[in-house]
Amino acid sequence: MRIGIISDIHSNLEALETALEVLSARKVDELVCLGDIVGYGANPNECLAMVCQATRHVIIGNHDEAAASFSGMDDFNPTARRAAEWTRARLTEENKEIIRKLPFTIELGGALFVHASPNTPYQWSYIITLTDAVESFNHFSTPICFIGHSHVPGILSDAGWEREVVREKKFIVNVGSVGQPRDGDPRLSCGFFDTEEWKYENIRSAYNAEKASEKIIKAGLPGSLAGRILIGR
């Protein structure tokens, strides 16, 4: 099975469109979305509709939860809170209900998919370092778990940072962010996993970030959100 994996779209329609085109060219059999479809960007309803049309394998993220139910914002900074309030005011009631029904985890092709962490998927804990990951490895039975949330792509095994996925170890793989990368590379980030070959690839692709940035400004969202997608920070 060839699985395309997208995460942290954050209402960035231009990035999402390009990511879906790139993954379609890879002839994926299934597409999984790891959540945070909305928040930060200017096109929440359009992005949710596009994701739901593209796949049935969709997980809720913390910004989705915040926009649909106004909970889970205790750790939000003022910019994130303002964006969540803006998004909540513009999401249709139908789309809020769609978000509220999304699961926290999905299993597919021998892999676990979760937005933040497998040990507390509903608490939005970050996995950034090996120390963060140690406890998480004890909380999933599949040989590999795909996550997003931090917006920084990377591959962790129970032995440390890795360059590739192999069958002999257990892995947590962060696919990065489609709509708001934070690793210094402004190109969108998504994942491609071949379950037969047991190979994973992080995909980076340029998209029309300038257009997405301009739309954020015109929407009246914080200017810092428009700037950061141009520099990937």
* Sequence spans of domains, the chain: 2-231
C-alpha–C-alpha distance, residues 207 and 204, integer Å: 10
**pLDDT band for position 141 (cuts 50, 70, 90):** very high
pLDDT at residue number 135: 84
For 127, the enclosing helix (H) or strand (E) is none
Using N-to-C axis directions, what is the helix angle for 44-54 and 13-25, rounded to 10°? 20
Average pLDDT (78-101) is 96
In this structure, which amino acid lies at residue 197? E
> Considering the domain 2-231 in this protein, what is its CATH number?
3.60.21.10
C-alpha–C-alpha distance, residues 26 and 2, integer Å: 8
- Residues 6 or more apart whose CB falls under 8 angstroms from that of 141 comprise none
Of 75 and 137, the one with more pLDDT: 137
Average pLDDT (49-53) is 98
User: pLDDT at residue 28 above 90?
Assistant: yes
pLDDT at residue number 77: 92
Average pLDDT (27-55) is 98
**pLDDT band for position 130 (cuts 50, 70, 90):** confident
C-alpha–C-alpha distance, residues 132 and 34, integer Å: 19
Q: Hey, how many other C-beta atoms are within 10 angstroms of the C-beta on 138? A: 11
Q: In the Cβ-directed half-sphere of 86, how many Cα atoms lie within 13 Å?
A: 23
pLDDT at residue number 72: 67
Computed over every residue of the chain, the mean pLDDT equals 95
User: pLDDT at residue 11 above 70?
Assistant: yes
Average pLDDT (147-166) is 95
pLDDT at residue number 103: 97
The dihedral through the CA atoms of 97, 54, 180, 163 has a sign that is positive
Q: What is the share, in percent, of the chain residues with pLDDT greater than 70?
A: 99
Q: Which residues are registered as beta bridge partners of 30? A: 3
Q: Which residues are registered as beta bridge partners of 6? A: 33
Q: Is 177 helix (H, G, I), strand (E, B) or coil?
A: coil
pLDDT at residue number 20: 98
C-alpha–C-alpha distance, residues 22 and 101, integer Å: 28
pLDDT at residue number 75: 81
**pLDDT band for position 129 (cuts 50, 70, 90):** confident
Listed range (54-58, 67-71, 215-219, 221-225) with the worst mean pLDDT: 67-71
